[in-house]
Amino acid sequence: MLELRPNCECCDKDLSPDSAEARICTYECTFCADCVDGVLKGVCPNCGGNLVARPIRPAAMLAKNPASTKRVLKAEGCAPKAA
């Protein structure tokens, strides 16, 4: 089950569980659409994988399986992973 992290790792923008702006990689690194499109160019700075729209968990299921409240922020900032 996805953690549904609450923020962008680059800019710390809040990303609610139902946010259409949230993007993730296969490791669940989480970024906002603005950072993915503008800074990261669609590539996760942590693993080098692609970033895609995060699925939205239905509200009824959020009550049973809530989203994470742990914020993750890249202290060194964000830049695309070098090839």
Q: How many domains does the chain fold into?
A: 1
Which tens digits make up the pLDDT trace of 17-41? 999 999 999 999 999 999 999 999 9
Q: Does residue 54 form part of some domain?
A: yes
CATH, residue 19: 3.30.40
pTM of the model: 0.89
| DSSP H or E segment with residue 61 | helix 59-64
Q: Does residue 53 form part of some domain?
A: yes
Shortest CA distance to 14 belongs to which of 74, 76, 69, 75?
Answer: 69
Residues 6+ apart with CB under 8 A from 5: 15, 28, 30, 67, 68, 70, 71, 72
Write the single-letter amino acid at 53: A
* DSSP annotation of 7: B
Which tens digits make up the pLDDT trace of 45-57? 999 999 999 999 9
